[in-house]
Structure 1
Amino acid sequence: MIVSNVSLSGCAGVNGALCAAEAPLRGGSHRTTLTPTGNLVVAVCLGFIGTLGLVNNLLVLVLFCRYKMLRSPINLLLINISISDLLVCVLGTPFSFAASTQGRWLIGGGGCVWYGFANSLFGIVSLISLAVLSFERYSTMMTPTEADSSNYCKVSLGITLSWLYSLVWTVPPLFGWSSYGPEGPGTTCSVNWTAKTANNISYIICLFVFCLIVPFLVIVFCYGKLLCAIRQVSGINASMSRKREQRVLFMVVIMVICYLLCWLPYGIMALLATFGPPGLVTPEASIIPSVLAKTSTVINPVIYVFMNKQFYRCFLALLCCAAPRRGSSLKSSSKVATKAIRGVGVNAPHRTNDFLFMVASLGQPAATVPQLGPSFDATNDITKAPSSDVNKPVVVSLVTHFDG
C-alpha cells in the first residue's frame, strides 16, 4: 500500500485524519502505482460493478414502492440493505472509477477522508443488516408468537441499530483512533491499514472482529438453526419438506459463500498489511480485495431479493405490465396458525412436537389452517386438509421469508 506512517504531530481530531490523508495527496499530484493497463482493467471492473449495482438496487426500490404486497417488516430489512448498497454505488464507486481512468486520486485529501468514511459506513451497515436479517428469520421461526405483518417496530429498531452500530465503528478514525487515507495503488481510500502504531492496530483488530467475524457468526448460527428445524419438520411430510429443505440449504450455502467471497479477502488483506512486514501486500494485490468487496452491491440484491419468490413475481409483473401472480405463501405467518399452536402446547400430551407444528404451519394462509380443539392429539398430521375441504390440499410454507 502507498500510505506511509505519517506523523500526526500538530494534527488532532478530524484535522488529524485530514492531515494523514493529505500528506501523500498534497497538491493532487499523487499518481497510482498501477500501469495504464492495470488502471484500465480496474476502471472496467468498477464501471461494471457500479452500473449493475445501481440498476439492481434501484429496481428493488421501485418494486418495493410499486407493489403494496411487498411492504412487510422483513422486506424492509432487504430495502435497508439495498439503500446502503445503492449509496455505495452513488457516493463511492464513481470516484474510484474516475481515479482509475485518470491514473490518480482526483478529489484531494479531504475527499479521500470522506470517501473512506462513507464507504466504510455503508459497507458495515450492509454487513450488519445481513446479520439482523438472519436473526429476524431465526427469531420468527423459533418464537411461538404471532407474527403481525403490520408491526414494524422490531424491524425498525434493527435497522436503526445497524446504522448506529456502523457509526460507532466508522466515526473513531475521524477523531484520532486510526485514520482514513489512500488505499492500495491510490485509486481508493479506506482505513490506514499499514501504520504499525498501537493506536492503529487496536482499531483494526476491533474492526475485524466486530464488523466482519461477529456478523458472519450470527449469520451461520441463525441459518444453521433454521436448517436443523427444517430437517425436523421433514418427518411430518417428507416428500414436501425434502424439496424445500434442499432449496433453503442451497440458498444458505450461496449466502455464506458470497459473504466470504466478498469480504474475507478484504479482511485478510487488511490483517496482512497491518501485522505483516512492510511491502508484504503490494498495491497491485491489494486492489483485488477492494474490488471484490464492492461486488457485494451487485450480489446482495440477486441473492436476497430476486431469489425471493414475492419479489420475483413482482419483477415479472413489472416487465409484463400486469398484476403480480399471488402465491400460496404470501403472508409471513398466520395468526390462526400461531393460536392453534399455542392451543396444542397447552392441551396436547406430546409437548415435544409443538415446535415441529409451529415451524410447519408458519406461513399457511389462515383459510387452510385446520382448527385445533382442546382434544386435538399432537401426533396428528396438520399438513392434511380438513375433511370438509379434501379437494384443496394445504400448502405448507416451511421458511416463508426465504422464498416469499
Structure 2
Amino acid sequence: MRGASCANGSRSGAGSTDCASTFQQPGLAWRAVASVLAIIAVLGIVNNSTTLYLVGRYSQLRTPFNMLVVNLTVSDLLVCVLGTPFSFVSSLKGRWMFGRAGCVWYGFINSLLGIVSLTTLTVISYERHQMMKRPPNAPKLSYRWVALSVLFVWVYSLLWTVPPLMGWSSYGPESHGVSCSVNWVSRTANDTSYIVAFFVGRLAVPVAVIVVSYTRFAYFSTLMSTLTENAAVTILSRDPAGLFE
C-alpha cells in the first residue's frame, strides 16, 4: 500500500523502512522551531479549550451559528493534540522520530483537520452571506442545518485525505525532514493528478466561495447602511410636528 510508505519515490533509501533514518539535521535552528511549535500548541490548547468550556457553560452561547464555530474550534484543538506533538519532538531531534506509521498518521491527521478547518470557514462565510440576504420573516438557521453542514464538512474532508492511504498518492516526509505530508515533489501521473485535484477541491473552491460570500456580504452591509442613513435623513428633513426641536 503506497499510503503506508515513507518514500517519496525513493525517499526512504534502499532497503530502509525507518523515516527517522532519512534525515539528520539537529541544531539550534530546529530547537527554535520546536519552541515556536510548543508555544503555538499550548496557546491553541488553552484558547480552544476555553472556547469549548464557555460554550458548554453558558447556554445562551449554544446558538446554531456558534455550533459551526465549535466545529472549527474542535478541529483546531485536535491539531494541537494529535499533530503538533509529533513535529515538536522531531524538531528537537532535527529528524523525524516516529517511523513510517507515525509519518502516515501525521500526514493524514494534519491534512484532515486542515481541510475541516478551511471547509468550516467556507460554510461560515456562506451562512453569513445568507443571513444578510435572508428576509426578516424567513426561517432562521436551524440546528438540523448545522448538523448536516458539520457532517458534510467531515465527510468532504475524509474524501480528500483517505485516497493517499489507498494508493492515490501517498503520505511521506517533507524535504526538511521533521514533518510529513502528501507527496508534493513526485512527478508521476498518480501523484500529480492527486495534487491537482487536491488544490482545486481543497483550496481553489473553498477560497472562491469565501471571497464571493464576504464580497457580497460587504456589498449588502454597505447597501443596508446607505438605506438606513437615507431614511434617517428623510425623517430629519421633514421634522414632523417639531419632533426634533
TM-score tier after normalising by the smaller chain length: 0.7 to 0.9
2:12 corresponds to which residue? 23
2:161 corresponds to which residue? 170
- Is 2:194 aligned against 1:203? yes
CA contact (8 A) 2:18 2:100 kept: no
Map 1:135-174 → 2, pairs under 5 A: 135-144=126-135, 145-148=137-140, 151-174=142-165
Aligned mates of 1:47, 1:100 — CA distance in 2: 10
RMSD of Structure 2 on Structure 1 (CA): 2.3
Aligned mates of 1:79, 1:17 — CA distance in 2: 31
1:263 corresponds to which residue? none
Aligned mates of 2:57, 2:23 — CA distance in 1: 44
1:398 corresponds to which residue? none
CA contact (8 A) 1:85 1:122 kept: yes
CA contact (8 A) 1:140 1:147 kept: no
Map 1:379-394 → 2, pairs under 5 A: none
Normalized per residue, the structure richer in helix is: 2
- Is 2:53 aligned against 1:62? yes
Report the more deviating stretch, 29-38 or 84-93. Answer: 29-38
Select which of 202, 207, 215 maps to 1:224. 215
Shift of 1:236: 3.0
Shift of 1:35: 4.8
Any gaps of 5 or more consecutive residues in structure 1?
Answer: 1-14, 242-379, 382-389, 391-404
1:264 corresponds to which residue? none
Map 1:5-404 → 2, pairs under 5 A: 15-21=1-7, 23=12, 26-27=17-18, 29-30=20-21, 32-144=23-135, 145-148=137-140, 151-238=142-229
CA contact (8 A) 1:181 1:189 kept: yes
Aligned mates of 1:54, 1:107 — CA distance in 2: 22
Any gaps of 5 or more consecutive residues in structure 2?
Answer: 236-242
TM-score (norm 2): 0.86
Residue type at the aligned position of 2:214: Y
Question: Relative contact order (C-alpha < 8 Å, sep 6+): which is higher?
Answer: 2
What do residues 370-396 of structure 1 show as CA deviations (whole Å, max 9, x unaligned)? xxxxxxxxxx97xxxxxxxx9xxxxxx
Residue type at the aligned position of 1:199: N
CA contact (8 A) 1:33 1:185 kept: no
CA contact (8 A) 1:17 1:173 kept: yes
Going from structure 1 to structure 2, the CA distance change for 1:32 and 1:46 (only over 3 Å counts) comes to farther
Shift of 1:33: 5.0
Residue type at the aligned position of 2:5: C
Shift of 1:213: 1.5
Identity value in percent: 46
Question: What secondary structure, in the 3-state scheme, does the structure 2 residue paired with 1:185 have?
Answer: coil
Going from structure 1 to structure 2, the CA distance change for 1:225 and 1:29 (only over 3 Å counts) comes to closer
Aligned mates of 1:20, 1:29 — CA distance in 2: 10
Shift of 1:156: 1.0
What do residues 275-312 of structure 1 show as CA deviations (whole Å, max 9, x unaligned)? xxxxxxxxxxxxxxxxxxxxxxxxxxxxxxxxxxxxxx
Aligned length: 229
CA contact (8 A) 2:5 2:104 kept: no
